[in-house]
Amino acid sequence: MKAIWHSIERFLRSPLVSGLLRKFGIDPVRYWLLIDLFGQLSERRELFSQLGRDGMTLQKASWAYYILSGLMVLLFIATGMALATYFAVFLAMTTFLLLAMLLSETSNSLVNPVEGLVLAHQPIDGATYTAAKLTHLLRILLHLVPGLNLIPALAGLTLNGCPWYYPLLHLLAAFAAGLVVALFCCALFGWLIRFVPPPRLKAVGFVAEMSPWLFYVFFQFSREMRASIQIPRWLPRQAGPRRMLAATLCVIAVTIVVFGIRALSGDYLVRVAAIAQGGSRAKRKVRRSRLSSLAGRLCGGPPARAGFEYVSRMMMRDWQFRRQMIPLFPILLMLAVGASHVMPISPFSGKFTGMHLLPHAFGFAFYMICTVIVFGNDHQGAWLFLLAPAGAFRGFARGVYARLFTLMAAPHLILLVILAWYWGIRDAGLFIAYSAAAAAVYLGLELRLIEGMPFSKQPEASQNPYMLPMMLLGGAAMGIAVGLQYFLVFHSRTAVVGVTLALAGAAWFLTRSSIEAFEASIRFHLGMLTTGSKGLYTEIAV
C-alpha cells in the first residue's frame, strides 16, 4: 500500500497535474509545501487526530476490515445469497461506513482548524489550504475500500452466475462510491462554511456528523415510513423519461458538488479564527453546581468539587471528546426507542424483554467514555495541573468518579418513576437496584481505562476505525451476559436480591481500588509531563 501511495504521489507532483491544479485555483507550490508540512507534523506526532495521516492506524484498521468482510463472505456464501444482493450489501455497507467516517474526518479537518490559526497570516488562499487539508481523505479510501471489498470481490466468483470480470467490477464500483462520498462530504462542508455563521459552524458540524446514524435510527424504527416509500411506483414506466430523469438528477448532483467544493475558496482562512473559537459566548457569572457541592462534601472537599466541575465542563465543550461520542448518541437513541415499546413487560414475567439490556448498555457507554476522556483538544494546557499540590489528586480522582457516577444515577432515577407506573414499586425498585449495581461494577472496572488526567493527552485517530469491530465484540459479550441474566437470575426475586447485593459489594471494592489506580495514573502521567519539559529545555541548552 505504501508503494501504491508513493506512485500516486509522484504522478500528482507531475507538471500535468500541476497545470490541472492551477485551473482549479490551487497553487501547486504552496499545495505541496503544505502536504510536506502536514506530513512532518504527523511524523512528529503533533497532528495525530486525523485518520488519513496516521499510517499505522490505517493499516491496522484495514486488516480489521479484511477480517470482518471475510467473516461476512463466509456467511453469505453458506446461505447461498444471490449475486445482485451480495453486491448490493457490500456496496451499501461501504457507502454507509465511509460516509460516517469521512464526514467525521472532513469536519475535524475544516471545522477544527487548529494549525489554521498559525497559517492564517501566510499568503495562502483558501482553495490551496483546503485541498492540502483534505488530501488525506484519499489515503482513507486507498486503505479501507480494499479492506471492505477485496475479499468479497474475489469470493464473488464462487456464486452462481458470476461472470469472470466480477472482481474488477466490484472494486471499481466500491472505489467510485468512495470517491463520490468523499466529494459529497467536501461539498457539504463547503456549503456549510459558505452559509453558516462561523461561530455556529462547530454545532452544525456535529449535527452533520450524526446525520447518517440518526437517519439510520429513524429509518429503522419508522415502519410506516418504510412501507410508504415505494420508489419504483414514483418512476415513469417508459425507458426514455427514466433516462431523462436519471440524467437530470446526475446534473443536479454534480452541480451541487462542484459549487460546494468551490465554496471552499479564498475567504476560508479569514474565517479560521472565528471557526476555531466557535460556540464561545459572552462571559457569564460562574455558578456553583449543587451536585458539585454535594460531591465535594461526600468525596473529599474542594479537590473533589474541582474534579467534578472540571469533567462536567470539559465534556460539554471539548471538541475531540464530543466528536468521539457521536456514535454513542444514536446507539442510546435506538435503545431508548426500543425500550419505550417494551416497558410494560416486566423482566420478572418470565418473558425476554429489551429491559434486560439496560445494565449492559450503561457498561458499553462507560467503556466508550473512559477510553476517550483522557484525550482533549487543549491538551497542551495540561501543565496547569503541575501547579496543584500533590495531595489534591486523591480528592480530584474521586470527583471525576462522582461525575461519571451521576451519568448513571440520573437515568436510573427517572426510570424508577416510569417503571413503577407499569410494574409496581416493588419490581421497579428491585430491577433499578440490580441495574444500578451492575452499572456500578462496569464503571468500577472501566475507570482503570482512564490513563492519566482527563483531557490532557493529544487526540489520536486510532479510535474511529475500530468502532465497528468494537461494537460487534462488545455486542457478543453483552449477549452472553444477557443470556445468563435471563436464564439464571430473573426467574426468582430472591435470586435478584442476592445478585444485587453481591454486585453492590463487588462495585464497592472495585471502585476503591480503581480510584487509587486512577490517582496513581494521574500522578505518573503528570510526572512524565514534567520529565518531558526538562528534556526539552536540556535539548535547547545543548
Q: Examine residue 284 and state whether it is found in any structural domain, yes or no.
A: no
* Burial degree of 539 (CB within 10 A; 0-12, 13-18, 19+): exposed
DSSP, res 52: G
Q: Are residues 256 and 316 in the same domain?
A: no
Task: Please tell me which of 125-129, 328-332, 369-373, 505-509 the model is most confident about, judged by mean pLDDT.
Answer: 505-509
Q: Residue 503: inside a domain, yes or no?
A: yes
User: Do 220 and 341 have their domain in common?
Assistant: no
Specify if 415 maps to a domain: yes
- Is the residue at 261 inside a domain? yes
139 contacts 50 by C-beta, under 8 angstroms: no
Give the contacts of 315 (CB within 8 A, at least 6 positions apart). 321, 322, 373
Q: Do residue 269 and residue 321 come from a single domain?
A: no
The stretch 202-212 carries a mean pLDDT of 77
* End-of-domain residue from the set 245, 276, 307: 276
Global pTM value: 0.70
Same domain? 193 vs 339: no
Res. 410: pLDDT tops 70: yes
In a domain, 285, yes or no: no
- Indicate whether 282 belongs to any domain: no
The reply to whether 248 and 313 lie within a common domain is no
- With respect to residue 283, please indicate whether it lies within any of the assigned structural domains: no
Q: Is residue 294 located within the same domain as residue 271?
A: no
29: cell is: 507550490
Same domain, 228 and 299: no
- Give the domain-ending residue among 276, 302, 331: 276
Count of the separate structural domains present in the chain: 2
CA angle 404, 474, 433 (to 5 degrees): 45
Closest by CA position to 430, among listed 510, 338, 376, 493? 493
pLDDT higher than 70, residue 225 = no
* Digit-coded pLDDT (tens) for 291-332: 777 777 888 788 888 889 999 888 888 877 887 777 677 667
Over range 142-153, report the average pLDDT. Answer: 89
pLDDT of res. 507: 92
Residues 78 and 170 in one domain: yes
| Predicted pLDDT of residue 231 | 55
The answer on 308 and 219 residing in a single domain is no
Q: Are residues 156 and 243 in the same domain?
A: yes
424 SS3 class:
coil
| Judgement on whether residues 91 and 226 belong to the same structural domain of the protein | yes
Over residues 514-540, the pLDDT tens digits come to: 999 999 998 888 887 766 544 444 444
Q: Which domain holds residue 375?
A: 290-541
Same domain, yes or no: 267 and 296: no
Structure confidence by residue, pLDDT tens digits, 427-471: 888 989 998 999 999 899 889 888 888 988 877 665 555 555 555
Look at residue 129 and tell me whether its pLDDT is greater than 90.
Answer: no
pLDDT in the model for residue 172: 92
Q: Is residue 144 part of a domain?
A: yes
